[in-house]
Each structure stands twice: as C-alpha cells, then as structure tokens.
Amino acid sequence: MYKKLIYPIFFILFSCCCGADDSNINLKDENNNYINAHGGGILQYKNKYYWYGENRIKGNESGVSLYQSKDLKKWRYLGVIFKSNEIEPKSHSFFIERPKIVYNSSTNKFVMWFHVEEVSSNYKTAKVGVASSNDISGPYKFLYASRINARSHPINGNYVGSKLANKVNKDHSNIGQMSRDITIFKDRNDNAYLISSSEDNLTLSISLLSQDYTHTTGKYIRVQPGGYNEAPVMFFNEGKYYLVASGTTGWKPNRARLFTADKVFGYWKNIGDFVKGTDAKNINTTFQSQGSNYFEFNGDCYFMGDKWYPKDLSNSGYLFKKIIFSNDQSPYIK
C-alpha cells in the first residue's frame, strides 16, 4: 500500500498486495436507483469514496454524475456536478465522455478532465475539456475545450519499430492533436499526466500536465503508434508503470492489452494479455467490458470497467476486478 500520510487526498496506486476475489460493490444508491456514472472512476477524499462518471439517464441533462460512500456499499447520489451545456451555454451541441478528476494539493483544487465531442461531428471534434472546483462535489467552473499539445512534437520522435514510425499528425500540429478516450495519472512526485487515444485512435499519447493540472505542457510521447488502442488505464507498482488499453472495436468489447515501462516517458513494451484464465470468452472480451479506471480499497487494487449496452447506454453495466500481481510483479485480472 502507498503511504497515506504522504498522499492523503487523491487515491493513487503505488504498490499493493492484491487477492483473487472480486469486490462486492453496490451498484444502487440509497434510493435503490441504479448507479449512473459511466466511463469515470472512484476517488477517495477525507475517508469517503466518490464515484463519478457520465450521466446517461434518458431525459436528464447529460454531464457528470457524483455519488458518495463510506464503504462502497451505501451510495448517496449528489447529483450532476457538471453539465455538458456549460461548455457552450444555451446549447446542446456537445457531449461529454470519460471524465477524470484529480486533486491538486498545491492549489487545493479539484480538476476535471473529459473528452468533448460535438454531437454532429462523428467523433471528429476530439477535444479535451477542463473544469475546476474548490470542492469535489462542485460547482465546477468550465475553463476551456481544445485539442492537446498544439505546435508541439513528441519528445520520443519517430517511434522505432512501428509501421507508422514516420507518421506524426502534421495536419493537426498547429491546432493540436486529437484526444478521445482519456485518463489521468498522478505520479509519486505529484506530476500528473493525460493519457489519450490520439491520431484517429491510431496512437496513445502521454502528456505532462502543468503544475496546476489545467493544461498540457507540450511535453508528450507517442505510445504504440499504429496500435489502435483506446480506453487507457494507468498505474504504478513495484518500480514499474503499467498501462492497460483496449482495441478499437467501438462499443463491442475486446481483448485488453498490457504495456509496461520503467519511466512514464520511457519505452512502453507490450507484455501480453491483462486477463488470465481458461475462459476464452472472458479473455477475448475482458469480461465483456472496456477499462475506465483503477482504485484501491482495503489494501486491494481494482480494475474498473464499463459493460456498454449501445442500444441502452443508461443501463450499461460495470466491471470491478481485483488486480493480482504475479511473481514477476506483472499485473492481471482473472
């Protein structure tokens, strides 16, 4: 387990000993309503847990929902803490996906990052949105929406060994790179990073954030160019960084890939499957899910995913699996 005295607010995996049993997290709130917080995460703050994610309830204002619990059993619904129409007031032109909240101990603010799409763009908008608040439950002030790393080039240059080694998305260099599925990773030194599926989902990018966590700095690397990865989930354990990603098959689940590196801006190596076992269906579909985040509870590490139902997104399911570390410390779920 990480030292809570050093990192008392934002819930980060540094090192943990994980068992084989899955969690028994309640998927309904105290009013017996189904949790509606997709593509998000669970964060600990002042001895309470906050589950946030996309509000997909039909007929409701789209945006980011928030729930609070002391034990992951009894959830209190706190409402929609950020609405998509705050991106452009009096407009319903945009929608939000995969929100991620990170706490900045130097500014005492909660910063929310999310994927922004224009309704009619067919996922060509590919922007990030950023909002901040003095309180985890809001209100959140919308700061901006934009592409990432404008007028910047990756510090790892042409990626050796890739069929697209020489392909940098030059057409987007002035306005910034695409960013679709995202996550945020906060390291042990308080540096925070945005991990994005970029270049029309061809490539993952890892971008260093500013000290206040509200902007990318222009310092970034490309990971697995041409690998078609999305839904990134990143964590650290025993001196290694790990990145779990899915393939790009739309709403259809697929086989999760596992990458590792010695440094965030190091060489990321594909080390195989993230799901272990004998059930081919669960291996090939990552238990019919796509990763969204990770968290720690009672000394165990958990992989969190979404079981998307594209014809009824408001009733999409969830996956919670304990992460197990093998003798060589490689993580997996089974």
Distances (CA, A) of 213 to 60, 86, 104, 106, 176: 30, 20, 7, 10, 18
Answer yes or no: is pLDDT of 16 > 50. no
Residue 4 domain flag? no
CA atoms of 154 and 215, how far apart (whole Å): 16
At 9 the pLDDT is 34
Q: Quick check: is 23 in a domain?
A: no
Instruction: Identify the band that residue 174 occupies on the pLDDT scale cut at 50, 70 and 90.
Output: confident
Which is higher by pLDDT, 93 or 253? 253
Task: Indicate the pTM of the whole model.
Answer: 0.90
Mean pLDDT lowest among 36-40, 49-53, 169-173, 195-199: 169-173
Domain that holds residue 212: 38-332
| The two three-digit tokens of residue 42, written as one number | 């669970």
Q: Read off the pLDDT of each residue in 195-211 and give the average, rounded to a whole number.
A: 96
In a domain, 93, yes or no: yes
User: Mind listing the pLDDT tens digit for each residue in 256-300?
Assistant: 999 999 999 999 999 999 999 999 999 999 999 999 999 999 989
Dihedral (Cα; 195, 198, 202, 204), 10-degree rounding = -20
Q: How many domains does the chain have?
A: 1
Instruction: Please answer whether residues 246 and 254 qualify as being in contact, where contact means their C-beta atoms are separated by less than 8 angstroms.
Output: yes
Residue 33 lies inside a defined structural domain of this protein = no
Closest of 170, 76, 172, 94 to residue 131, by C-alpha: 94
Query: Is residue 178 a part of any domain in this protein?
Result: yes
Residue 156's CB is within 10 A of a number of other CB atoms, namely 17
Q: What percent of the chain has pLDDT above 70?
A: 87
Task: Say which residue the tokens 């499957």 belong to.
Answer: 273
Burial of 50 (0-12, 13-18, 19+ CB in 10 A): buried
Higher pLDDT, 9 or 289: 289
Q: What is the structure's pLDDT at 233? A: 98
d(CA 216, CA 56): 28
Asked, for residue 12, whether it belongs to a domain, the answer is no
Q: How does pLDDT run across 19-48, given as a tens digit for each residue?
A: 334 667 999 999 999 999 999 999 999 999
24 found inside a domain: no
Q: For the domain that residue 309 is a member of, what is the CATH number?
A: 2.115.10.20
In a domain, residue 28? The reply is no
Q: What percent of the chain has pLDDT over 90?
A: 78
